[in-house]
Structure formats: structure tokens, C-alpha cells
């Protein structure tokens, strides 16, 4: 009987801890504190690897913080439900698009008729525009300028840089020629 009571207490503490941590990471995400949520989730992901909600919020936070590589662990874990598998595909797509852009920009990797899923994430939008440009023009440039095909007031600049020994692709996002965000991917 004591063993059963101990197991019951331990299980309820574990679930209380998950509820508290879900509330914490969800609050960070809703308050757009993506880097903090990503860091928090990275420290807890192994503990809550069975919680598709926790893993998904962690990975979405990392994507929003431009730390796409960290979402790879979530893509591996998200497999039990259709929604989880869709999230895993989203994270995997962004990671692959990022890696292809880095390879193409720094190593002159020739992209021919490669077809990947597309998302509404800025990296995915620029990847699609880059693919169309490379396929049609085939010219390697130092600076690529793209206009969003769905919103002509939205534009992007993409270029490569090396900072502190790290090779990065930088994407600048503009709306009406005003800089909204700068994203760096390595």
C-alpha cells in the first residue's frame, strides 16, 4: 500500500510539474519571448519528450528565435498524432531549406529542379524565391533582392556573411521599403 501511495504521489508531482512548465513556456511564447522559451524548452525537452504540446511550443519558439537547428530534436520526437507529424514536417522543412541555402550560398551548390514543401515562414518564402531565381537565371550573386509574389509591398534581401568564424545567411525583411527584421541563419 505504501508503494502504491508513493507512486501516486510521484505521478501527481510529475504531472503538476508538466502543467507548471507548460504554463511557463506557453506564457513566454505568447509574450514573444522566443529566445527565453527556446532556452527553457531545451533544458526540459528530455523530461517532457512525451508531451507533444510542450515539444511543439519549444520548437515553435526556437523557430521564431531563428534557432531552427534546435527544432530538429522536436521533429524527431513529434510522431504520435497527425498534428504532431505535421509540426515535425514543418520543422524538418525549415531545417532542410536553411541547410540548402547555406550550402548554395557558400559552396556554390547547384540546385536544379528540387521541390520541397513550402511554409509561410520567412525562410521558406525566401527559399522559394531563391529557387525560382536560381532556376530561371542561374547567376550567383553577393546580394539577392526578392519581392513577395503575394504582397508587392513586402521584399527581402539575402546575402552571406562570416561573423566570428561562423558562416551565416542573412535575410532582411522589408515592408514598404522599411526594415522590419533581420534574420541570421548558420
Judge residue 53's burial from the number of C-beta atoms within 10 Å of its C-beta, 0-12 exposed, 13-18 middle, 19 or more buried: middle
- Asked if 54 contacts 85 with a C-beta cutoff of 8 angstroms, the reply is no
* Residues forming beta bridges with residue 177, ordered by sequence position: none
Joined grid coordinates for residue 114 = 528540387
Task: Spell out, as residue ranges, where the chain has pLDDT lower than 70.
Answer: 1-16, 112-113, 134-139
Judge residue 170's burial from the number of C-beta atoms within 10 Å of its C-beta, 0-12 exposed, 13-18 middle, 19 or more buried: middle
Judge residue 26's burial from the number of C-beta atoms within 10 Å of its C-beta, 0-12 exposed, 13-18 middle, 19 or more buried: middle
- What is the structure's pLDDT at 119? 93
Task: For cell 511564447, name the residue.
Answer: 29
Of 46, 41, 96, nearest in space to 88 by CA = 96
Rounded to whole angstroms, what are the CA distances from 2 to 16, 77, 152?
A: 21, 35, 68
- What is the structure's pLDDT at 159? 95
- What is the structure's pLDDT at 138? 60
* Nearest-angstrom CA–CA distance, 186 and 17: 34
* Residues forming beta bridges with residue 171, ordered by sequence position: 158, 183
- What is the structure's pLDDT at 102? 92
- What is the structure's pLDDT at 9? 40
- Asked if 53 contacts 74 with a C-beta cutoff of 8 angstroms, the reply is no
| DSSP codes joined into one string, 50-82 | T-HHHHHHHHHHHHHTT-GGGHHHHHHH--SSH
Kindly list the structural domains of the chain, giving each domain's residue range(s) and its CATH number in brackets, ordered by start: 1-80 (1.25.40), 98-186 (no CATH)
The reported pTM is: 0.84
pLDDT digits (tens, 9 = 90+) for 60-95: 999 999 999 999 999 999 999 999 999 999 999 999
* Nearest-angstrom CA–CA distance, 57 and 94: 16
Mean pLDDT over each residue of the chain, to the nearest integer: 87
Amino acid at each position: 500500500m505504501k508503494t502504491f501511495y508513493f507512486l501516486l504521489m510521484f505521478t501527481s508531482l510529475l504531472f503538476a510539474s508538466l502543467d507548471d512548465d507548460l504554463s511557463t513556456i506557453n506564457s513566454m511564447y505568447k509574450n514573444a519571448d522566443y529566445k527565453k522559451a527556446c532556452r527553457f524548452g531545451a533544458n526540459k525537452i528530455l523530461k517532457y519528450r512525451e508531451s507533444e504540446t510542450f515539444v511543439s511550443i519549444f520548437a515553435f519558439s526556437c523557430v521564431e528565435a531563428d534557432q531552427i537547428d534546435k527544432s530538429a530534436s522536436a521533429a524527431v520526437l513529434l510522431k504520435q498524432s497527425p498534428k504532431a507529424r505535421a509540426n515535425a514536417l514543418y520543422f524538418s522543412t525549415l531545417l532542410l531549406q536553411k541547410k540548402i541555402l547555406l550550402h548554395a550560398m557558400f559552396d556554390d551548390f547547384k540546385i536544379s529542379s528540387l521541390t520541397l514543401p513550402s511554409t509561410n515562414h520567412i525562410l521558406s518564402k525566401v527559399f522559394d524565391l531563391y529557387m525560382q531565381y536560381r532556376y530561371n537565371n542561374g547567376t550567383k550573386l553577393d546580394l539577392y533582392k526578392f519581392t513577395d509574389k503575394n504582397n508587392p509591398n513586402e521584399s527581402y534581401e539575402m546575402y552571406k556573411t562570416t561573423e566570428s568564424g561562423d558562416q551565416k545567411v542573412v535575410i532582411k525583411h522589408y515592408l514598404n521599403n522599411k526594415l522590419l527584421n533581420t534574420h541570421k541563419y548558420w
